[in-house]
């Protein structure tokens, strides 16, 4: 699969599905739809042991599809499941500790940057990426205006890549791309109707291929 290096790429956030086999099948199907840079696996309400089982099913199939598998929150689960990275939604201090401990063996990124001040604090610890929004923050069809504004400001001046949370409408990916952000995160837009997940991934990639601004080398 060729990667579109010069435009915003798609990041998937796995939906909250209690059955590990069903969740794995839906994610595997979605990844057949086209280019996905990485997949973030949240814990949701699962206990640690159950989350471990979900992660061990998901990580290999995400990697087989050519995407990076990022476990949200739990470095032990990330290590045991042989994931590519760790997504943290804590502050700069939490990210800094995780980077010291796990980078460069693991990708470490995330952050809970609700404003410019906190974003710059996170930037100072040099994560692999910063995330604007919440993993389950797709509650409206469009991306949150505050996250779009933060993404645009960040992308215009900071080299660390940013991921901006999209909305429940697949077309919201384009609004994110237009900020200059390197990645758009999608959850319910792709997984809201599991049977349509592969075609939605294809649709988002086609939209970005056609209309997303190109990065300059």
CATH number (domain holding residue 32): 3.20.20.70
- Strands (E) in 128-189, as ranges, are 130-132, 162-165, 183-186
pLDDT of residue 1: 46
As for how many domains the chain has, the answer is 1
For residue 1, being part of any structural domain is answered with: no
3-state secondary structure of 87: strand
| 112 part of a folded domain | yes
- Residue 19 forms part of a structural domain: yes
Per residue in 120-164, pLDDT (tens digit) is 999 999 999 999 999 999 999 999 999 999 999 999 999 999 999
Residue 33 lies in a domain: yes
What is the Cα–Cα distance from 156 to 151, expressed in whole angstroms?
Answer: 8
Residue 159 falls inside a structural domain: yes
76: in domain = yes
Q: 80 — phi, psi (to 5°)?
A: -65, -35
Domain that holds residue 13: 9-210
Torsion of CA 146, 129, 192, 14, to 10 degrees: -150
Query: Ramachandran region of residue 88, left (φ > 0), alpha (ψ -120 to 50) or beta?
Result: beta
Q: Is the dihedral of CA 111, 116, 122, 123 positive or negative?
A: positive
What was the pLDDT predicted at 3? 73
Please give the backbone phi and psi of residue 38, each rounded to the nearest 5 degrees, phi first.
-155, 165
Count of C-beta atoms within a 10 Å radius of residue 118:
16
Phi-psi category of residue 34: left, alpha or beta, with phi > 0 → left and psi -120 to 50 → alpha:
left
Sites in the chain below the pLDDT cut of 50: 1
How far is residue 38 CA from its own chain's centroid?
A: 6
Any domain includes 54? yes
Q: Does residue 169 belong to any structural domain of this protein?
A: yes
Distance CA 125, CA 143 (A): 27
**For the whole model, what pTM was predicted?**
0.97
Q: Report helix, strand and coil shares of the chain as percent, to nearest 5.
A: 45, 15, 40
């Amino acid at each position: 699969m060729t990667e579109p290096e010069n435009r915003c790429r798609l990041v998937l956030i796995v939906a909250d599905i209690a059955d590990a086999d069903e969740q794995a099948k839906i994610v595997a199907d979605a990844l057949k739809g086209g280019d996905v840079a990485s997949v973030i696996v949240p814990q949701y309400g699962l206990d640690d042991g159950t989350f471990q089982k979900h992660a061990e099913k998901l990580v290999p199939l995400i990697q087989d599809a050519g995407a990076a598998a990022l476990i949200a929150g739990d470095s032990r689960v990330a290590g045991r499941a042989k994931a590519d990275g760790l997504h943290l939604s804590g502050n700069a201090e939490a990210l800094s500790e995780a980077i010291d401990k796990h980078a460069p063996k693991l990708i470490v990124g995330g952050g809970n940057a609700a404003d410019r001040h906190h974003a710059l604090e996170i930037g100072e610890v040099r994560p692999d990426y910063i995330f604007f929004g919440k993993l389950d923050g797709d509650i409206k069809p469009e991306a949150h205006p505050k996250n779009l504004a933060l993404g645009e400001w960040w992308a215009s001046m900071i080299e660390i890549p940013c991921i901006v949370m999209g909305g429940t409408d697949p077309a919201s990916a384009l609004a994110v791309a237009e900020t200059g952000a390197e990645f758009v995160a999608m959850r319910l837009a792709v997984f809201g109707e599991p049977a349509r997940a592969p075609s939605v991934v294809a649709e988002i990639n086609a939209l970005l291929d056609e209309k997303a601004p190109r990065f300059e080398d």
